[in-house]
Structure 1
């Protein structure tokens, strides 16, 4: 399996194969693996890796998906099958999987620091610092999401954080063992405003996931928690990993403001579950 993922760049695949994040791995031939289908829990989707010309996958994967995988996705109330690829030669297999259903596609962008820890970028970013200065720190508290916090979490919307963690991780304890995060808490309202945490982890790389409670959106809070997360990565020798769609201009601008630069892209294909 390692000989396949060494040529594959997406962190989500590494996280599942390494056993940090939950998922499943289906291979073409257990005695001679040349291709694999990786189910990634935190994305509710799959990634195809290895040889797109794998004969078992070309002949058997479409029927396997329809018989075994798609019924399970339907039970999860998903409306489409999503597959990420870095080799567009997979399109033939994907068209066979979609059969008569429409196959759509789009790109995903990945941003990283090109310097080892991005130190010069984060330190020199005045705009990100200004976001922090604009907050009323008498009403807002920036806190690190760790074991001490989770064991003494007393906010009205604690389920917001717990649901976000278990979307990516098997348990909260798994997250606390391998990942971390930051969140803004409105002290007067006693509720979480915005969070940024490790969605996927593989080695020293941490995929960033950010979400702001709807009532607090479009106020720059995401920039504050993202900056705290990225600076913690810098201090601790970790590598932040930012994955977003090319039409999410707000996310791209924020990544660039934090000093991250475009690293690579990959293609996501999807087709509807129903015919």
Structure 2
């Protein structure tokens, strides 16, 4: 039970981030690990520093990753509620955003993450998968591009609007990507999104205009990025929702195979009346 005046969360300083490292060990949690290792800008909140039983690692401009010990249920509910109201809400308000995503280990987290929170409502709960590359399948592809040009391009690790709101080391980092150009227009891009640990990295893939989809551009640009990163000894990870059929098709075509499944909770700011 929360005592009057008791603070339910603490934001860790950067030199304290390794306190929570042992709690994040799955491939899908590599974004959290990138924050913990100070390779990606973010914030880390705990219920206490000595023996944390509630942890939120927030990769700024992206998602948050949760760890909760369920025997500490009531306290973790208070921890998450207070954090959302006092820390998360003001930040996403200042950025004029509406959504906050939390990646979790399993459905047991419903007991904490499906609680009502002042100023928010649970907009969506869905499941996502992380995929690893079957290199034998990938090496046998030999995809060829005949419709346009594939070029290398650097991308900011954080959108410009976030740099104006946070003074966090690493905001100005750039990451590598590839773009597919048809008739002098970028129709598709694939990016190492900056979530790296050891020799693993996550891919972001976009084809912007619906009219340009189903033409193979996404497969080609992803194939070229993976080849380039592979020459550096890097291994790609693919992540998508279970109901994102186009993404699943591209992943399968490139030789990716499912390795992990987990629930994701999307909170949305409630409209004030």
Tell me whether the two structures share a fold, i.e. TM-score over 0.5. yes
Q: Is the 8 A contact 1:144 1:183 kept in 2?
A: yes
The alignment partner of 1:96 has SS state of coil
> Superposition pairs for residues 1-275 of structure 1, below 5 Å?
1-6=20-25, 9-43=28-62, 45-54=63-72, 56-98=75-117, 101-102=121-122, 104-113=124-133, 118-125=134-141, 129=143, 132-133=144-145, 135-136=146-147, 140-145=148-153, 165-167=157-159, 174-175=173-174, 179-186=175-182, 188-189=183-184, 191-199=185-193, 200-214=195-209, 217-218=212-213, 219-274=215-270
Q: Is the 8 A contact 2:77 2:113 kept in 1?
A: no
Q: Is the 8 A contact 1:65 1:97 kept in 2?
A: no
1:208–1:248: structure 2 CA closer, same or farther, 3 Å change rule? same
Deviation of 1:36 after TM superposition, in Å, equals 0.9
Partner of 2:9 in structure 1?
none
Q: Is the 8 A contact 2:64 2:103 kept in 1?
A: yes
Instruction: Please identify which structure carries the higher strand content.
Output: 2
TM-score (structure 1 length as normaliser)? 0.76
Provide the aligned C-alpha RMSD in A: 2.8
| Gapped regions of structure 1 (runs ≥ 5) | 147-160
Instruction: Please identify which structure carries the higher helix content.
Output: 1
Q: Is the 8 A contact 2:191 2:225 kept in 1?
A: yes
Deviation of 1:245 after TM superposition, in Å, equals 0.7
1:105–1:265: structure 2 CA closer, same or farther, 3 Å change rule? same
Cα separation, 1, equivalents of 2:27 and 2:77: 20
Deviation of 1:60 after TM superposition, in Å, equals 3.1
The alignment partner of 1:19 has SS state of coil
Cα separation, 2, equivalents of 1:102 and 1:119: 39
| Gapped regions of structure 2 (runs ≥ 5) | 1-19, 164-169
1:70–1:251: structure 2 CA closer, same or farther, 3 Å change rule? same
Cα separation, 2, equivalents of 1:123 and 1:208: 18
Q: Is the 8 A contact 1:86 1:266 kept in 2?
A: yes
The alignment partner of 2:231 has SS state of helix
Q: Is the 8 A contact 1:205 1:241 kept in 2?
A: yes
Q: Runs of 4 or more off by more than 6 Å in structure 1?
A: 168-172
TM-score (structure 2 length as normaliser)? 0.77
Q: Is the 8 A contact 1:141 1:184 kept in 2?
A: yes
The alignment partner of 1:64 has SS state of helix
Cα separation, 2, equivalents of 1:101 and 1:180: 36
Cα separation, 1, equivalents of 2:26 and 2:187: 39
Q: After superposition, what is the alpha-carbon deviation per residue over 1:87-124, rounded to whole angstroms, capped at 9, x for unaligned? A: 322212112353684463100111112xxxx3311122
